[in-house]
Each structure stands twice: as structure tokens, then as C-alpha cells.
């Protein structure tokens, strides 16, 4: 068989282990694997590189993606020519199947290719935000959250030394998994998530309470997707090819810091981790998870079980319909947040 493979959306640690796992298993079957570079853009333009044993055997510890990525969306309004090019190149390269590694947007394209154009696709879930439904964890999350945690630990030393509050903005557009996990593990004094209504007054009162008992510093962790009407930049913020705001232009972390300083009088600084958490070597967890889902994706190809995404449920790797996985985001449940509130409301 001739198998095409691509990675789309934001890069994250674990993509290379997943590519490697899939390719090594496909080579067991004697398949030829072609990588399309820069996500769906590579399939639009026909840009490829062979994924051989020599190319993938040493990449398990590398961050990012050797195939590179983009946010190209061939189903975007006005991009009909791109979709036609994708379908033409699938025929040109005589692909028997297409393996797409990505998050909601990338897998959404894969799902439409399968349901609307009968393209045999298999999805591999990737997102640092851990917000893809039907899977307990996605590779990239553990690595990115670990980097965020390390940063919080370092910033705590500075906060203590200068008697300051430091607001740490982490990634998380719709879901606050990274903010919650890194914030709780980093002993934050408050955590703000997109799923939970923001109570600025309660947060500031808690910081005042901390200062009153002698804790003259604080750490607040906020997800980039948190919204406070009127407190952050909202006009003329650019959209990407999938219609999402470029959240780096919104500035929730600085907005929260200003509110804290204004309401409490405490010197407050903000740190936006941004893309820092994307890079670096994947953790052990993400190397193993990436390898497992890559291998299972190859197995789905040879079973002819298309239109499916590999998913971690419990300790098992299962196949679920891509269409179901991209239907809604996996958000932090209120009861889970409530469980952790005890760690930052003293």
C-alpha cells in the first residue's frame, strides 16, 4: 500500500514519536509511506518527502514535527481550488490511505474528506490543550504542561524575592486543562479557566487575605482563552484559516495583572508563556502515547477501518469515529474544578 501522512495545526512534543510509531508499523507491512510537508498545504501543493526507516528511527526524542505544519484549511470558504488540489493529489500520488495527525481542525478536514469525498482517512489526536473529545489524553499535553509547571516553579522564586504577584498565562483556547494541571501542581494561589466564570473580586480578596497573613507574594495562572468583557484587546484581532482568534494578540494575562494591581495595590507582573511550551523533547508519557497511537493508526489502515481516530480510553487504545471526536470540545468538568478549589482558597 501507499500511505500518505501529514501533521497539521500547532506543533507539539509527541508528533515525531507518533510519526515514527506509525511508519515503523507500516514498514512491517511493506508499505511505502509518503510525508506531505506543512500539513494540508503539502497536500494542496504536492510537497512530499519519503518517510523511510532511516528518516524516522532516530526522531523519538525530538520535539516539533519533522513534516512541519501549517493551519491551511482546504474547506475554508473561498478555498475551493485548494480542495480540488487535495483531491487531485490524492489521485496523483495513488494513495491508498491518508493518516492525519492533528487536533480538532486538522482532524475536522480529515473527517470531511472521508464523509464527503470517500477519502480513506485515519486520525491521530494531537493537542497541547487536551481538548479533543473521545480520548482521555492527547500527546503533547503532558510535555507542554510540564514546561508550564517548570516555569511556574521558577517564577515563584522571583515572586517571593520581590513581594509580587505574578500572573502566568498559559495556552488553552477553549479548555483550561493546562492552566488547571500546571496551576494546581505549581501551588498557584488562583487559577482561571475558560469553563468557569471569572470572579475577579473573589480572586483579589483571596490575594489580600494571603497578604494579611504574611504571604506577600502570589501566583495566578490563567488560560489564554479566558474572557473578561472590556478588560482585554478584542477589536481587529486576526483570525486564522479555521476562524479562530489569534489569542496571542488578545492579552488576557496582562489584563488580569492590571486588574489585580488596580484592585489590591500589590505590585503585579505578567508572564505569557505562549509558544515556549510547544518546543522541547517530549516527556516519557508523550513518547509512549505517541508511539502507541501511531502503531494503532497503522493497524487501522490495514484493517480498512477508515474515518476513525485512535483514542486513549483508560489504558486502552481504541478507534472512535473522527466525526464524533471533533463534534465538541472536551472541557474541564465543573466538579473537577471544584475539587481543586480547596488548594487555592485558603
Query: Is the residue at 304 inside a domain?
Result: yes
DSSP state letter for 232: S
Q: How many domains does the chain have?
A: 2
Specify whether 155 is located in the same domain as 208: yes
Query: What is the per-residue pLDDT for 107?
Result: 96
Query: Is the residue at 342 inside a domain?
Result: no
- For the annotated binding site for substrate, the residues are 127-129, 164, 171-173, 224, 269, 275-278
For residue 40 the three cell numbers come to: 494540508
Specify whether 188 is located in the same domain as 226: yes
pLDDT tens figures, 206-254: 999 999 999 999 999 999 999 987 665 555 556 555 454 444 455 899 9
pLDDT tens figures, 3-37: 999 999 999 999 999 999 999 999 999 999 999 99
Specify whether 126 is located in the same domain as 252: no
Which residues lie below 8 Å from residue 194, measured CB to CB, with a gap of 6+? Answer: 172, 173, 174, 175, 176, 223, 225, 226, 227, 331
pLDDT tens figures, 140-198: 999 999 999 999 999 999 999 999 999 999 999 999 999 999 999 999 999 999 999 99
Specify whether 133 is located in the same domain as 149: no
- For the annotated binding site, the residues are 10, 104, 127-129, 164, 171-173, 224, 269, 275-278
The CATH number for 149's domain is 3.40.50.460
Q: With H, G, I as helix, E, B as strand and everything else as coil, classify residue 100.
A: strand
Specify whether 112 is located in the same domain as 41: yes
The CATH number for 96's domain is 3.40.50.450
Query: What is the per-residue pLDDT for 113?
Result: 98
Q: The whole model's pTM is what? A: 0.91
- For the annotated binding site for diphosphate, the residues are 10
Q: Which residues pair with 3 in a beta bridge?
A: 33, 97
Specify whether 302 is located in the same domain as 204: no
Specify whether 98 is located in the same domain as 166: no
For residue 163 the three cell numbers come to: 513581594
Name the residues annotated as catalytic: 129
The stretch 330-339 carries a mean pLDDT of 96
Pick the closest to residue 181 from 327, 329, 337 (CA basis).
337
The stretch 114-127 carries a mean pLDDT of 97
Specify whether 160 is located in the same domain as 268: yes
Specify whether 308 is located in the same domain as 207: no
- For the annotated binding site for Mg(2+), the residues are 104
Query: What is the per-residue pLDDT for 244?
Result: 45
Integer Cα distance of 24 and 294 in angstroms = 9
Cell 509518503 belongs to 34
Integer Cα distance of 54 and 66 in angstroms = 13
For residues 19 and 51, the answer to whether their CB atoms sit within 8 Å is yes
Query: Is the residue at 340 inside a domain?
Result: no
For residues 13 and 143, the answer to whether their CB atoms sit within 8 Å is yes
Which residues lie below 8 Å from residue 201, measured CB to CB, with a gap of 6+? Answer: 263
What residues make up the domain containing 170? 144-278
Specify whether 58 is located in the same domain as 10: yes
Query: What is the per-residue pLDDT for 345?
Result: 77
The stretch 51-68 carries a mean pLDDT of 97
pLDDT tens figures, 264-275: 999 999 999 999
Amino acid at each position: 500500500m501507499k500511505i500518505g501522512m501529514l501533521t497539521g495545526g500547532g506543533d507539539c512534543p509527541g508528533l515525531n514519536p507518533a510519526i515514527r510509531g506509525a511508519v515503523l508499523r507500516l514498514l512491517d507491512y511493506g508499505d511505502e509511506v509518503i510525508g506531505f510537508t506543512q500539513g494540508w498545504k503539502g497536500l494542496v501543493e504536492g510537497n512530499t518527502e519519503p518517510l523511510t526507516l532511516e528518516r524516522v528511527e532516530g526522531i523519538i526524542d525530538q520535539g516539533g514535527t519533522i513534516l512541519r505544519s501549517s493551519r491551511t484549511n482546504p474547506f475554508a470558504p473561498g478555498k475551493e481550488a485548494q480542495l480540488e488540489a487535495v483531491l487531485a493529489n490524492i489521485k496523483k500520488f495513488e494513495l491508498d490511505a491518508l493518516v492525519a495527525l492533528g487536533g480538532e481542525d486538522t482532524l475536522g478536514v480529515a473527517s470531511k474528506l472521508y464523509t464527503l469525498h470517500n477519502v480513506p482517512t485515519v486520525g491521530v489526536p494531537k493537542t497541547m490543550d487536551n481538548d479533543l473529545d473521545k480520548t482521555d489524553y492527547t500527546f503533547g499535553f503532558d510535555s507542554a504542561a510540564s514546561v508550564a509547571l517548570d516555569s511556574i516553579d521558577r517564577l515563584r522564586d522571583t515572586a517571593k524575592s520581590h513581594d509580587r504577584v505574578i500572573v502566568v498565562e498559559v495556552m488553552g483556547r477553549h479548555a483550561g486543562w493546562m492552566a488547571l494541571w500546571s496551576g494546581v501542581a505549581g501551588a498557584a494561589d488562583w487559577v482561571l479557566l475558560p469553563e468557569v466564570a471569572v470572579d475577579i473580586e473573589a480572586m483579589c480578596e483571596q490575594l489580600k487575605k494571603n497578604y494579611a497573613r504574611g504571604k506577600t507574594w502570589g501566583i495566578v495562572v490563567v488560560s489564554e482563552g479566558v474572557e473578561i468583557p472590556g478588560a482585554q484587546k478584542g477589536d481587529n484581532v486576526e483570525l486564522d484559516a479555521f476562524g479562530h482568534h489569534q489569542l496571542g494578540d488578545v492579552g488576557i494575562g496582562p489584563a488580569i495583572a492590571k486588574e489585580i494591581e488596580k484592585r489590591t495595590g500589590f505590585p503585579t507582573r505578567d508572564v505569557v508563556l505562549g509558544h515556549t511550551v510547544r518546543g522541547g523533547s517530549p516527556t516519557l508519557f508523550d513518547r509512549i502515547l505517541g508511539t502507541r497511537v501511531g502503531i494503532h493508526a497503522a493497524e487501522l489502515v490495514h484493517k480498512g477501518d477508515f474515518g476513525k481516530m485512535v483514542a486513549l480510553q483508560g489504558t486502552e487504545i481504541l478507534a472512535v469515529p473522527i466525526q464524533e471526536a471533533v463534534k465538541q470540545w472536551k472541557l474541564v468538568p465543573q466538579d473537577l474544578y471544584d475539587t481543586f478549589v480547596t488548594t487555592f482558597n485558603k
